[in-house]
Amino acid sequence: MTLSFHRLANPARFQRLARRALPWSWAVAVLATGSGFVWGLALSPADYQQGDTVRVMYVHVPAAWMAMACYALMAVLSASFLVWKHQLAGIAALAAAPVGACFTAIALITGSLWGKPTWGTWWVWDARLTSVLVLFFLYLGYLALAGAFDDRMRGLRAASLLALVGIINLPIIKFSVDWWNTLHQPASILRAGGPSIHASMLWPLMITALGFAAFLVAILLVRIRSELAQWRIEALMRRHTRDVP
Amino acid sequence: MTTFGALVRRDLALATRRGGDAALTLVFFVVAVAVFPFGVGPDPELLARIAAGIIWVTALLASMTSLERLYRADLEDGSLEIMALSAQPLELQVAAKCLAHWMTSGLPVVVLSPLMAMLLNLDVAAWWILVVSLAIGTPILSLIGSIGAALVLGARKSGALVGLIVLPLQVPVMIFGIGAVEALLGGAPVLPPLLIEAAILIAGTPLALLASAVALRMAIE
């Protein structure tokens, strides 16, 4: 496991692997997301309480899962960048950050759109909403820090450390926000989704989630490759300006 | 330990002499708290209800005002490199810097908080809880802030950046700090939030010192 992980740190090997994996992940992304959406948005039954509003879930829930998975991925990559100095890992974390931020934003926006008809308000300071909002802020902090330095490698290293500090903090934030919410408004929390979910809704949800995950992989591969190209171009330009006085 | 003491003394001297941050942070805290009633209205009951929140949020912002300069001057005049090269562990020196930062930004806030609580009409019985929660919480603010201050060293636009990366991380401390006061006002046990706050301080101190030291080494490489 570790061995193959380290082997992946070789950019040339990664490029070969990415070229082979890319068409597959795009295919799964398009097919699964497409069929999941058709099933979820058109064919699946409406909820007996929420009506058609429940269909927001087929976008919202997978997006929220991807938002969290992306941060965990970012933290693992940042750790391997700081510990083993795998540049590719750092670059991959940097490539993952805006994607994760977008998924977080999608989760927040769709959640808000769902909340208006269901809860009667765009936003409540519910524990889950609040911790996802803080997650969004962590993404923004990472991106701002990574982009704040003239030396991009310095920015990447600082941001990687921040990602690690963030992942240690996330459970504490989650716990504190849960605690805070129950203290402030006991028993008024509306149950989202009901006790359990019927198979007619679970299947399209899972298929959409698979599609989103495949999309995440595909877009990450594309972004990592473009980042690699960008760093290479910059290195070449630096060498060029050094050679030509 | 002499290095530790010397660093604390130096930073205290720098902060309290002319052009230092200590007085400014203090005035900022008082003025910022006093601005809130103009924003939310002078209703004593409303102010009493949100007093702990106002004081805590302002304490957060007050500790932020001097953060950006915590390591910058040391980086610019080269003393940061001396610190990193010295025989003393960098983590210990970070602890000294954090202690000095807390004594000039956190401690004054703790001392002044009863006065502010009085201005905001907070129940007198809750004053001491507010003081205790701030006394445990403000060192954490300095410690987490130190990570942020070390990370932005050398960045193009560090002022607002420190706030952006530090504020989300400080949310839990604030929640439990205010939670203790709210618990007292609501008749719930006060001890659990204070103990959790103390636990965050105890567990967070070594981690924050470690992370700050790593970030500082990145900055001087």
pLDDT in tens, B37-75: 999 988 999 999 899 999 999 999 998 888 888 899 899
- Residue predicted with more confidence, B2 or A103: A103
pLDDT at position A217 = 92
pLDDT at position B118 = 93
Question: Percent of chain B, pLDDT > 90?
Answer: 67
Question: Percent of chain A, pLDDT > 70?
Answer: 87
Torsion of CA A110, A100, B145, A158, to 10 degrees: -160
Please give, rounded to a whole number of angstroms, the shortest distance from the CA of B18 to a CA of chain A.
31
Q: Give the Cα separation of B221 and B219 in Å (integer).
A: 6
Contacts of B147 in chain A (CB under 8 A): 162, 165
pLDDT at position A195 = 43
Task: Please state the pTM of the whole predicted model.
Answer: 0.88
Q: DSSP state, A48? A: T
For residue A55, which of A71, A43, A66 has the smallest C-alpha distance?
Answer: A43
Instruction: Judge whether B111 is closer than 8 Å to chain A, CB to CB.
Output: no
| Structural contact between residues B51 and B14, judged by C-beta atoms closer than 8 angstroms | no
Q: Which residue of A has its CA nearest to B167?
A: A137
Please give, rounded to a whole number of angstroms, the shortest distance from the CA of A96 to a CA of chain B.
18
Please give, rounded to a whole number of angstroms, the shortest distance from the CA of A71 to a CA of chain B.
15
Strand partners, A51: A47
SS (H, E, C) A111-142: HHHHHHHHHCCCCCCCHHHHHHHHHHHHHHHH
Contacts of A183 in chain B (CB under 8 A): 179, 182-183, 186, 188
Please report how many Cα atoms fall inside a 13 Å half-sphere around the Cα of residue A169, on the Cβ side.
28
Q: Give the Cα separation of B151 and B82 in Å (integer).
A: 19
Average pLDDT score over chain A: 83
Residue A5: pLDDT band (50, 70, 90) is low
Residue B161 sits in which domain range? 2-220
What ipTM was estimated for this complex? 0.89
Name the amino acid, one letter, at A202: L
Contacts of B175 in chain A (CB under 8 A): 176-177, 179-180
pLDDT at position B170 = 92
Please tell me the total count of domains within chain B: 1
Weakest-pLDDT range from A31-45, A78-92, A145-159, B113-127: A31-45
Residues 6+ away with beta carbon under 8 Å from A122: A112, A115, A116
pLDDT at A199 over 90: no
Q: Which residue of A has its CA nearest to B209?
A: A165
